[in-house]
Chains A and B, each alone.
Chain A
Amino acid sequence: MADLMRKSGIWIAAILVILALPLLVKSGFHITMLNQMGVLIIFALAYNMLLGQGGMLSFGHAVYFGLAGYSVAHYLNGVGEATLPYLPVSLIPLMGGAVGLFFGVLIGFVSTRRAGTTFAMISLGFAEMATALTLIIVTFFNGEEGIQTDRWVGPEPLGITFGSDVQVYYLIGTWCLLATGAMYALTRTPFGRMCNAVRDNPERVQFLGYNTHRVRWLAFSLSSFFAGIAGALHALNIEHVGFETVGIAQSGLVLFMVWIGGASTFAGPVLGAILITYLNSNLSDLTEAWYLYLGLLFMVIVMFAQGGLAGLIVMHEPIWKVDLKLFRAMVVPYIMGIGSTLIACVGVIGLIELAYFMSTRATAETQKVLYGFDVDAASVVPWAVCLLIAALGIEACRRTYPPMSASYNTAIAAVKARMAM
């Protein structure tokens, strides 16, 4: 019993958090943000079935997300005009999943014959075609305007209309839990392991007698199914589906989320989805350079942290599992390293903000508020200061990173030594 409690601990905690959040968060803007997080968590996890578990990099996964969204929007409009039979709104995500599955099976069959770069390029081709079709097939996609819909349709069992955002929140929360649970379970099945095998060594898998194409195709189809669920919830949340939902930008965003969060762990995409959605909603109001920062963060992760942010956390798991005291020796080098990074960031961000300000300012005014100080962006002073800080920070990083990784290695070596005993 205690064992079961421990194992299902995270799930229970997650349920409690999801139930409690709307009581803490009151503003409509933030509820909508939470809803978006829920939708994108499902989408990111679905995407990671392809990327992290299957080794397939797709630039066109938003096609299934978007097509499901459009279908659901049309369905809701049909119900609203009483031309289509009623299905409880809570079950609509399944409809989205079915649409995603349908297209995933079709397109997946041809796409998954090969992996790697060919797969990526086919996905790019389909993404571009889908985007172009949204402007050509006006009856379904309605071109630039997209499809508007109203989720407050049909009978209202128990007074649940899904009119309010909070009710949609609980709907999304429930589906998020269900989908996450399902996808997690899949990773535990032999099929999940086969996906990993195909990712790591497809030749060997073929020698063992398995059909790599079938495995990839199945993974692709299931992934599209969950992407479709996410798309349906998206349509319910925003009540509008536009042509950008099928495009490369949407696929690129979820790619960023998954990679920054960490494609090598199950929870990495969850972390990425939450973090990026939060930043996207709030940071873009603070600075114009938001996209640049996102891109730079992505590049840093690609170059230095293959496992993403989750990977960085999980890297330390063996240490805290074995002996928390080992951390003591790591504290100082880590603080030095993180501190240097922060200093470098302050300098670089300062330079970027100044540059953006100078190139996009409207008035002849050159005064700007940077980190709370009034500076004149036309004079050399703030530039020089930021450059200096950045240079110092980078130099500090160069000095403090080796001790930081050395302390980590020592700790890991100690862990290994203990495990060997």
Chain B
Amino acid sequence: MSAFSPFPLKAKMEVFFFSVFNGLLYGMLLFMLASGLTLIFSLMGVLNFAHASFFMLGAYFAYQISKYVGFWPALIFAPLIVGLIGALIERYGLRPVHKFGHVAELLFTFGLAFVMEEVIQMIWGKVPVPYNIPEALSFAAFTWRGLDYSAYRLFMLLISVGIFVALFLFIAKTRIGLMIQAALSHPQMVQSLGHDVPTIFMWTFGFGCALAGIAGVIGGNVLGTEPSMAITLGPIVFVVIVIGGLGSLWGALLAALFIGIVDNLAISFDLKLYPIFALFGVEREAEGIMSDLVNLTTGGIAPVLPYLMLVLMLIFRPRGLFGTRDV
């Protein structure tokens, strides 16, 4: 319901760039989460409902560690601890459930997400914890046309790009990486070839969780660290991997960036959706339910867009945009 139309063209440019920059950032964060989830799903066939909970755990651990020794040790140790916890959960929790089928595995991770949120509330309370940006990075790297581009956000971008590059090299160039590539598209074959699948599963799960943990460490102090983090971000990560396509890391990257940028732009350029309805001959002063729909703007529906895309994609092309195999 923006009563005011946007601003002069000059201002539009800087809003556009600012939004794209932040969209990229948000997208990279989503990618870090999605990459871990894709690896786990593609390799093990398990949709880890609790993936965003490991993200949350990473943020909380980073908060706790940085309280005592500072942000930089937290950046290294928090993901490691989260990864370790993930591996242990796979070994002692998920593995026994594996034999009961996919539904049981899904239920396990669903229950796990629920329990993790409760446990975090039990330990750290229900109010947001003051996990802050490190002093060293809390300044404006540069100001362009009146908008500050924070140094910390640039750092976030650097780290996430670095991780993507490292991940890409790891999968493309190492032996284990080759195995993972194979398993991404042909999991049963890899198993029949005699690789120690249970151990691979355990470390993959741990690694995926560690990736989620890093996202938590660098994102928690920007988005706010509180118990509802997981449930807000979780479903969007599913959207990313479905749209990108299962088994495809490139797909996950592109989908994540797409969603991040579209989300930001939809809000910044709060376009009215009325013209679409006008095409169908709907009156401007429509009554009842139509009056709600007619007054919609992109900013108003921005949080719903990902789910709409999810449903449409699953209906028409379950493989996703770049998927190498079906769900």
Contact = CB atoms under 8 A, between A and B. Distances in A.
A and B are interacting partners: yes
Interface of A: 51, 55, 57, 110, 113-114, 116-118, 120-122, 124-126, 128-129, 132-133, 136-140, 252, 255, 259, 289, 291-292, 295-296, 298-299, 302-303, 306, 352, 355-356, 359-360
B115 A295 contact: yes
Contacts of B97: 302-303
Contact of B289 (A121, A139, A292, A306): A139
Contacts of B123: 355, 359
B281 interface: no
B111 A302 contact: yes
Interface of B: 47, 93, 96-97, 100, 102-104, 106-108, 110-112, 114-115, 118-119, 121-126, 235, 238-239, 242, 288-289, 291-293, 296, 300-301, 303-304, 307-308, 310-311, 314-315, 318, 327
A28 B318 CA distance: 50
Contact of B125 (A126, A136, A359): A359
B311 A126 contact: yes
Contacts of A289: 118, 122
A146 to B, nearest CB: 16
Given A125-B314, A302-B97, 17 more contacts: A55-B103, A116-B102, A117-B47, A118-B318, A120-B47, A125-B239, A128-B304, A136-B296, A136-B301, A137-B292, A139-B289, A139-B291, A140-B289, A289-B118, A296-B115, A356-B122, A359-B125
A292 B100 CA distance: 24
Contact of B118 (A120, A291, A360): A291
A124 B111 CA distance: 15
B124 A302 contact: no
Contacts of A51: 103
Given A121-B47, A303-B108, A116 B327 contact: yes
19 contacts: A51-B103, A57-B107, A110-B311, A116-B327, A118-B327, A120-B106, A122-B314, A136-B293, A136-B296, A136-B304, A291-B118, A292-B118, A295-B118, A298-B114, A299-B108, A299-B112, A302-B108, A355-B123, A359-B123
Nearest to A291: B118
A55 B104 CA distance: 11
Contacts of B310: 121-122, 124-125
Given A118-B318, A359-B122, A139 B304 contact: no
Given A295-B118, A360-B126, A128 B106 contact: no
Contacts of A117: 47, 102, 106, 327
B314 A121 contact: yes
B327 A132 contact: no
Contacts of B303: 132
A136 B299 CA distance: 12
Contacts of B102: 116-117
Residue of B97, B114, B239, B308 with highest tally of chain A CB at under 10 A: B114
A140 B287 CA distance: 12
Top 8 A-B residue pairs of the complex, sorted by shortest distance between their CB atoms: A292-B118, A295-B115, A132-B304, A125-B311, A125-B310, A295-B114, A128-B307, A118-B327
A213 to B, nearest CB: 13
Contacts of A113: 315
Nearest to A289: B122
A45 to B, nearest CB: 18
A57 B106 contact: yes
Contact of A129 (B115, B242, B304): B304
A303 B98 CA distance: 10
Contacts of B125: 359-360
B122 A137 contact: no
Nearest to A299: B111
Contacts of B301: 132, 136
Nearest to B241: A121
Given A299-B112, A360-B125, A129 B307 contact: yes
Contact of A128 (B104, B235, B300): B235
B86 to A, nearest CB: 16
B119 A292 contact: yes
A298 B111 contact: yes
A137 B296 CA distance: 10
Contacts of A114: 318, 327
A137 B301 CA distance: 11
A310 B238 CA distance: 33
Contact of B115 (A120, A139, A252, A299): A299
Nearest to B314: A122
A57 B242 CA distance: 18
A139 B307 contact: no
Contacts of A360: 125-126
Contact of B122 (A118, A252, A292): A292
A138 B242 contact: no
A291 B114 CA distance: 9
A299 B118 CA distance: 13
Contacts of B304: 128-129, 132-133, 136
A129 B97 CA distance: 31
A339 to B, nearest CB: 24
A139 B288 contact: yes
A360 B121 CA distance: 9
A252 B235 contact: no
| Residue among B47, B103, B112, B318 with the highest chain A CB neighbour number at 10 A | B103
Contact of A303 (B96, B124, B314, B327): B96
A306 B100 contact: yes
A113 B314 CA distance: 10
A124 B112 contact: no
Contacts of A252: 110, 114
